[in-house]
Amino acid sequence: MKPDLSVAIGDLKLKNPVITASGTFGCGEEYQDLIDLELLGAITVKAVTINPVSGNPPPRIVEVTGGMLNSIGLQNEGVDNFINNKLPVIREYGVPIIVNIAGSSVKEYKELAERLDKVPEVSALEINISCPNVKKGGMQFGIDRRWISKVTKNVCRVTDKTVITKLSPNVTDIVEMAQAAMAAGSDAVSLVNTFKAMAVDPETGKPKLATVTGGLSGPCIKPIALRMVWEVAARLGAPVIGMGGIATVEDTLEFLIAGATAVGIGTANFTDPRTAGNIVNGLEEYLRRRQMTTIRQMIGTIKCNQNE
């Protein structure tokens, strides 16, 4: 019998726990010739804002040891374009669509949630209060539990869709931030967004990014992201979408064992567009080999007792 890979996050039902992370997969159409999109548990689209955003000036992507720095700045064509031009295409993929929403004020987050709540093709909303590459909003909200609570509460008031709050790792206590989001009504949290970082060109003495700093992602952040997922899952019992440097089946299993309900595949999509699909197939093979019937048997099974 085929192993059951299905998981649930709030009212969001996924046929498997593999989700593409926002900002790394466009709206999916860019990858449709490279991967069977129907394999995926869900697609999280690139951040959507009220009005079009041109993003930051180049250079805004830099390869670093073990990862990547980016300072895209939430470039997108606005919510109207997303609803009218993007959704009609991506709804044909037959997988849940999670829309990452970003704003520079509580009012903008609320307006986006109200607009998208009326769109049946949207399966869930991911509140982006953790982007380190914008001057207003983003991480400015995500490093203060009071703002996390305020933004999340206002979004939850105007939508019946599953709400996921994407948190910043650039904080002292990630559990405290997750607790604020969950207490405000979020159904789950995404952990983690990128770490604020920089790189310098020794030949010119100048920063490699036009914005000086950007967000660090990729394999180099995986151990830190994994620790944060474990802390939140263990101490709060909150549903977590784990992300940060996941590129293999083994990486995915680490996050699930640490307590994640699902995982987000991000930077790995750039190095190998087939990564998410390969992980889905690999999870199925792993369960077969272990003679397990469901992936849910793996979630939160970490053994931290050193005497065992």
Average pLDDT for residues 220-235, to the nearest whole number?
A: 98
d(CA 35, CA 55): 27
State the pLDDT confidence band at 123, using cuts at 50, 70 and 90: very high
Q: Are 21 and 27 in contact (CB under 8 A)?
A: no
Q: How confident is the model at residue 3 (pLDDT cuts 50, 70, 90)?
A: very high
Q: What is the CATH number of domain 7-55+73-194+218-297?
A: 3.20.20.70
Check whether 308 has a pLDDT greater than 70. Answer: no
Is 221 in contact with 171 (CB distance < 8 Å)? no
Q: What is the pLDDT at residue 132?
A: 85
pTM: 0.96
Reply yes or no on whether 27 is catalytic: no
Separation of alpha carbons 86 and 175, rounded Å: 35
* DSSP characters over 28-88: SGGGTTTS-GGGSSEEEEEEE-SS-B--PPSP-EEEETTEEEE-----B--HHHIIIIIHH
Q: Where are the domains of the chain?
A: 7-55+73-194+218-297
Query: Would the pLDDT of 307 be above 50?
Result: no
Q: How far apart are CA 260 and CA 185, in angstroms?
A: 19
CB count, 10 Å around CB of 144? Answer: 15
User: Which of helix, strand or coil describes residue 215?
Assistant: strand
Q: Is the pLDDT of residue 214 over 90?
A: yes
pLDDT score of 135 more than 90: no
| 140 has pLDDT over 90 | no
Condensed to tens digits (0 to 9), the pLDDT of residues 151-186 reads 999 999 999 999 999 999 999 999 999 999 999 999
257-271, pLDDT tens digit by residue?
A: 999 999 999 999 999
